[in-house]
Amino acid sequence: MKRLLSHSFAAFAALATPVLADSPVVVELFTSQGCSSCPPADKMLHALAERDDVIALALHVDYWDYIGWKDEFAQAEFSERQREYAIQGGRRSVYTPQMIVNGVTDVVGAKPIKLSAAISAHAAKPSLVDLTLERKGDTITVDATANGAVGPFVVQLIRYTAKSETRITRGENAGNTFAYANVVNDWKILSEWDGREPFSMTADLDADAPVVILLQRQTFGPILAAARLR
């Protein structure tokens, strides 16, 4: 038992260990407050959220709301995003918790060893796009240059709340209070870019919450570059 606990602790600690990367690795967690299997994965996201080399995003889905608790963070668009990933990956169903790493690698459940390996593997790949962000007041400027990457790319803007807490009163997690990290509350497409010429654009921001820009192939394909301003 001691060996097992030590192994589990070491695996979880690995999630807090930065790796060398040209661009942050994006981890999307599809989760739900109504899912009894999700709290361990939600906890793992807290460790990832502290890393500068990882952009950890919690996307709460709505398809478990019927079992007794309506997730206050859930959006139908996030459920649809997960379904589109499933189609791209040849999977027949969606489930929680699930993590998608850089739009490509899926990790089902709270598996720190597999997740750490996936993050390291993506971090080791050379960056094909240089992406920089600058915020001035209520405006963000996005600049990108492709280094051999093949477009087109979808330029996406994400806003999230760094820390949230909810007491669950019904459903599978009734009676528990959970803390959540990096809860996404807005996800929008800003533009498309063919990748041939340098790209530059500005977008308006209506709050000082953290902002993330993703450059993704065909919306649900590989994420080629990501940047964040906290």
Mean pLDDT of 107-121: 96
pLDDT of 218 reads 84
Q: Calculate what percentage of the chain has a pLDDT beyond 90.
A: 83
Residue 50: is its pLDDT beyond 60? Answer: yes
Residue 137: is its pLDDT beyond 80? Answer: yes
Residue 182: is its pLDDT beyond 80? Answer: yes
Burial of 35 per CB tally in 10 Å (0-12, 13-18, 19+): buried
Mean pLDDT of 183-205: 95
What CA–CA distance (Å, rounded) separates 78 from 191? Answer: 19
Give the pLDDT band of residue 21 (cuts 50, 70, 90): low
Could you tell me the CA-to-CA distances from 155 to 13, 60, 191, 201 in Å, in that order? 33, 22, 5, 10
Tokens found for residue 133? 């962000």
pLDDT of 78 reads 98
What CA–CA distance (Å, rounded) separates 25 from 102? Answer: 6
Could you tell me the CA-to-CA distances from 139 to 122, 158, 204 in Å, in that order? 30, 14, 5
Specify the higher pLDDT residue, 9 or 109. Answer: 109
pLDDT of 17 reads 62
**Domain spans of the chain?**
2-229
Could you tell me the CA-to-CA distances from 108 to 39, 86, 101 in Å, in that order? 13, 12, 11
What rounded mean pLDDT belongs to the chain?
91
Tokens found for residue 128? 């094909």
Give the pLDDT band of residue 11 (cuts 50, 70, 90): low
pLDDT one-digit tens code per residue, 159-172: 999 999 999 999 99
CATH number assigned to the domain covering 2-229:
3.40.30.10
Residue 9: is its pLDDT beyond 60? Answer: no
What CA–CA distance (Å, rounded) separates 141 from 98? Answer: 32
pLDDT of 219 reads 84
What CA–CA distance (Å, rounded) separates 216 from 94? Answer: 21
pTM equals: 0.92
What CA–CA distance (Å, rounded) separates 28 from 43? Answer: 14
Mean pLDDT of 60-69: 96
